[in-house]
Amino acid sequence: MKIMVTGGAGFIGSHVVDMYLENGHEVVVIDNLSTGKIQNINPGAVFYQHDIRNKSMKGIFEKEKPDIVNHHAAQIDLRYSTENPGVDAEINILGSMKLLELSLQFNVRKFIFISSGGAIYGEPKYLPCDETHPVKPLSPYGAGKYAVELYLYLYKQNFGLDYTILRYANVYGPRQDPYGEAGVVAIFCGQMRENSPVTINGSGEQVRDFVYVTDCAAANLIALKHGSGAAYNLGSGAGTSINQIFETLKHINRYHLEPVYGPEKKGETFKIYLDIQKASKELKWVPDIDLEEGLQKTAQFFY
């Protein structure tokens, strides 16, 4: 199959591209390189440096005629979305709708959409959060992700466009940006590598669900043929505090400084982890890389 991966030069998207190519598929990468990196792009893929909002996207669809659209491109910074909700909506909602329209126009078989297993649920009513948990996002980013999920449902009902939604937990691993606003594992590794002070936002007792990047890539491979019209949580099924992440990486990296605690981020939930039973039953997906092994692999990449 020919698969168009938006955001295919990014941290997660580039791993998805690699896995698709390794399994014999043709891949077209769309990325404006605002956060993606040219060195992440697999040379086996066709690359277009384009923004998904541009009118020129129609010409790319017309030329490449993808069977599948895998939509990873997004504004991913929760803090930025809170400060700039209009820009966040323009990229994450209107950009996604443009891709949906082009998918219909050029007879795309299926649309794989990357949503959030943390930001859409808000502060949990119960743990672990399953896919039927109430949706109460605390950030424009979370609201935008869920808005696109609703559009996918109506596009399937009204126009027959098939889809699968993958709701990621906190993804970490090689190629994550250690200088970005998101991705605590990469940020900590980058600061430890430079022997700089590590800043923890808030108390550090915030709990997150961490999942290794190649496990998410594997789910994207499965979603090519399975999961029609459904949403799936992807995570570890367990919660880990930010302080625990710091202590584990401190040991792995032989880092000797104590953390510096800063103000908490607005728009973030305090404690969340995901129920992954639906993905396990319906997609036959379970994560292969446990947290200790994943943190070791990530630290090795940064050193």
Per-residue pLDDT of 84-138, as tens digits, reads: 999 999 999 999 999 999 999 999 999 999 999 989 999 999 999 999 999 999 9
Locate 138 and state its tokens.
């605390």
203 or 264, which is more confident: 203
Q: Share the mean pLDDT of the chain.
A: 96
**How many beta carbons lie within 10 A of that of residue 142, not counting itself?**
24
Q: Are 190 and 182 in contact (CB under 8 A)?
A: no
Let me know if 141 is a catalytic residue. Answer: yes
pTM: 0.96
Average pLDDT over residues 230-253: 97
pLDDT category of residue 48 using cuts at 50, 70 and 90: very high
pLDDT category of residue 79 using cuts at 50, 70 and 90: confident
pLDDT category of residue 54 using cuts at 50, 70 and 90: very high
Average pLDDT over residues 220-246: 98
Domains of the chain: 2-171+210-234 (3.40.50.720), 173-208+238-274+289-302 (3.90.25.10)
- pLDDT for the residue numbered 298: 97
**How many beta carbons lie within 10 A of that of residue 256, not counting itself?**
8
Average pLDDT over residues 151-166: 98
Average pLDDT over residues 228-243: 98
* pLDDT beyond 90 at 265: no
| 129 CB-near residues (< 8 Å, 6+ apart) | 117, 121, 233, 272, 273, 274, 275
- pLDDT for the residue numbered 78: 86
Catalytic residue, from 80, 121, 141, 212: name it.
141
- pLDDT for the residue numbered 181: 66
* pLDDT beyond 70 at 66: yes
* pLDDT beyond 70 at 160: yes
DSSP one-letter code for 97: H
* pLDDT beyond 70 at 50: yes
pLDDT category of residue 229 using cuts at 50, 70 and 90: very high
**C-alpha to C-alpha distances, 81 to 43, 46, 96, 158, nearest whole angstrom:** 33, 31, 16, 30
